[in-house]
Amino acid sequence: MLSLHSCGCCYRVSTSTAFKFQISTSLSASNYKYRFGTARTVIASSGSDKEKNSIEDNKRSNYSGVRLEETVDDGTRSGKLRLDNWISSRINGISRARVQSSIKAGLVHVNGRVVDKSSFNVKAGDEVKCTITELQQLRAVPENIPLDIVYEDEHVIVINKAAHMVVHPAPGNTSGTLVNGILHHCNLPNFEFSNQEALPDNEDSDDEFKNFDSDASSCEGLDSRLSVASIRPGIVHRLDKGTSGLLVVAKDELSHMKLSEQFKLRTIKRVYVSLTAGVPTPTAGRVEVPVGRDPHNRLRMTAVVGPASSMKARHAASRYRVIEILAGGSCALVEWKLETGRTHQIRAHAKYLGVPLLGDEVYGGTKSMVLSLLRPRTPPSLHGQIAQMVSRLDRPCLHALTLGFQHPHTGEQVHLSSEPPLDFDEILSQLRRIGSQRISLSKHSISS
């Protein structure tokens, strides 16, 4: 098992003892503060009266079928205005994500030609015709899904998320999520929301909801005062589908607000452990490299060296230290502390360091790469076992080990920890059998 420091202020759960600190509470929907409302957005257009009436008639259908026909005026900066931004500015209250969906669906024409790229630049004199696509609905229903609850009171719940569990529903993945389980656990009814409110990625990521672009997270059909969290009960932050470990969920609006503020101020303490393909050099350090969407693969983020604005990358900083060098230097057990919480931040920074996570096929930690590192450093008698171990890698070896935050109601500091699950532990044990070298804490440390 992974050795953890002993601290009386920490609650912990391990895969061997399965100890859980839990306070059982009975929660009803009336105690749960998130509520849906009816949107009261006044939509305006500078087009003809007929166009205005058409838009007004479609208010009640959440912009579905709204048509816009306008000429870009002379005040537009030549070559500098994106098509999605311009359309969003002409239909008051609509989200940019909704406009982007309409563009991708081929419902936008510029000068008589279909344009399906949101980043297309419009200029003065361009004639734009747009029809807003129908709003697709997703439904999240309560499901009796076993939840590994590490801590719970009437205000917050901390869950040790299993690997392969998605945090919230998204198109093509509307059941079996953490949100479905929370709805059942808290005796909440099912709810519907548009797929525009789902995240654009096909898997979750560790990025605070408060940091998401407001256009991309607008809640069409919901009261404009409600945040995106309102349609994902209590979710304050996320973990990738493949990542296991601790995640805090708010049970009331005040708790959600205060926890979100802590994430924004970066006072939440989060420590992760990973298994990497290779050993970082140096064995401890700080990575401060912006992270942005990979232009060649929309499912992947990338560390951006150079001007971050060129790819709309966002500031990202991670501290790391090698706990143990494994298998003769072919792998390492690495601890990470996040200063920011960007999408796939650890995975992107690990790749930037040249040590992708074991099992992370998206970021380079492929089975073939891992085998190429292990075979030269492994006795031939163990090659069969190594091949078997590598073949079982089905997720990035990343675990959210500890979580610390100020309780949103009592103000007390809460510190929780959870040891890595069995699959992580088995791989670690096999790598240790090949070779292990512990790195002394006196040689390096990560500031809290």
CA distance 322 to 444: 9
SS (H, E, C) 90-118: HCCCCCHHHHHHHHHCCCEEECCEECCCC
Helices 367-374, 383-391: inter-axial angle, 10-degree rounding:
160
Residue 331 contacts residue 276 (beta carbons within 8 Å): yes
CA distance 311 to 88: 21
Q: Can you read off the two tokens belonging to residue 419?
A: 């040891």
- Name the DSSP class of 205: -
Q: Can you read off the two tokens belonging to residue 1?
A: 């098992």
The set of residues, in sequence order, having a beta carbon less than 8 Å from that of 422 and lying 6+ positions away, is 15
Strand partners, 114: 109
Count of beta carbons in the 10 Å neighbourhood of residue 221? 22
Strand partners, 17: none
DSSP-derived 3-state class of residue 270 = strand
CA distance 238 to 208: 7
Q: Which of 240, 294, 360, 423 is catalytic?
A: 240
Amino acid letter, residue 393: L
CA distance 3 to 13: 13
- Pairing of the two strands 244-250 and 398-406: parallel
84 is catalytic: no
Pick from 127, 352, 156: nearest CA to 246: 156
CA distance 365 to 372: 11
Residue 179 contacts residue 235 (beta carbons within 8 Å): yes
Which positions are annotated as active-site residues? 240
